[in-house]
Amino acid sequence: MNHVVVYLGNPRTGLHLPPLLSATTMGGNSFRQTLPDAQFPRLSPQAYSHIKQLLTQCLTPLFTHVTVPHEAPEKVDHGDVDFLVTGPKEGLTLEYLRETLGAPFHIPSPKGMLGPSVFAIPLAKFGDGDTVKDQEGKEGTFVQVDVIVCSDEQSWSRSYCFRSWGDLGMIMGQLVASVGLHLGEKGLR
């Protein structure tokens, strides 16, 4: 299995994504390069909620804290499921996490257990046609799951606040930037 390392870009710090992937590969499309024939359908709110519940049960024994940021109100569908976690149990590896989630493919975080790792989990794993709609039984149909491992509880709490309610954290960051400050997952500077 080939692994693609994804580095997130930040124009303020000068960090950029490598040429292999661009910012357009985020939000449900991270596997476009490595799995070009795979399907990652948008999830209805019902399917998203069902998958979120099942994966929360898988992740809870592995981490001290597990959450999903609040979604944007009235969002009509979802491209992926994002989990914020912290406090990995002793000895936990990305390979064990991949196996526990049932993901045949993943893009590991460049920081090992810390940071964002992305998993492709077969959609069929999550239930019947009521949950997964017309995609049931289609070969090569996956759900993208992002597991963001925060360094400590304080970082996890800030990330939860910043990533909740859709783009609200980004909007607030733009507002405070207009007065020369920076608001992000590491707080206000």
Q: The tokens of 179 are what?
A: 């007065």
* Whole-number average pLDDT of the chain: 78
- In degrees and rounded to multiples of 5, residue 48 shows phi and psi of -60, -45
Report the alpha-carbon distance of residue 82 to residue 145 in Å, rounded. Answer: 6
Measured between alpha carbons, how far is 92 from 25 in angstroms, rounded to an integer? 27
Using only C-alpha atoms, the chain has a radius of gyration, in whole angstroms, of 17
**Between 9 and 117, the higher pLDDT residue:** 117
User: Is a pLDDT exceeding 70 seen at residue 72?
Assistant: yes
- pLDDT at residue 113 is higher than 90: no
Query: And the tokens for 76?
Result: 């009509």
For helices 45-59 and 94-101, angle between their N-to-C axes, nearest 10 degrees: 130
> ∠ at Cα 109 (108, 114), nearest 5°?
130
Tens of pLDDT, residue by residue over 80-93, are: 999 999 999 999 99
Q: Give the tokens for residue 107.
A: 């893009």
